[in-house]
């Protein structure tokens, strides 16, 4: 799927006035530019990371080394994004 320049300005879902620097559980999705599949591919229902995917995984895991107050929950590297899913057992 190519990046639609006309649709790049989406409505923000952030709460007005909310301080996102305060402690809490946050849902995070990082998408590649143009949604290009850079991190690997899904084969038989399994995500196979390529070199870039392994780098993305390594960088995600290193976040607490740079920000000691951050705890990582469940996450997955997909072909064109890194997703920290949120569910009832992941807070």
pLDDT attached to residue 49: 97
What is the rounded CA–CA span in Å between residue 66 and residue 40? 26
Question: Among residues of the chain, what percentage have pLDDT more than 90?
Answer: 48
Task: With cut-offs at 50, 70 and 90, classify the pLDDT of residue 20.
Answer: confident
The domains of the chain are located at: 26-91
CB 35 within 8 A of CB 1: yes
Q: What is the pLDDT of residue 89?
A: 44
Q: Read off the pLDDT of residues 54-82 as tens digits, 9 standing for 90 and up.
A: 999 999 999 999 988 888 888 999 999 99
pLDDT of residue 70: 86
């Amino acid at each position: 799927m190519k990046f639609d320049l006309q649709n790049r300005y989406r409505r923000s879902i952030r709460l007005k006035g909310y301080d996102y620097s305060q402690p809490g559980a946050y849902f995070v999705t990082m998408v590649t530019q143009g949604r290009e599949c850079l991190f690997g591919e899904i084969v038989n229902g399994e995500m196979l990371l390529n070199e870039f995917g392994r780098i993305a995984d390594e960088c995600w895991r290193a976040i607490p080394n740079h920000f000691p107050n951050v705890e990582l929950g469940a996450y997955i590297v997909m072909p064109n994004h890194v997703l920290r899913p949120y569910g009832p057992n992941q807070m």
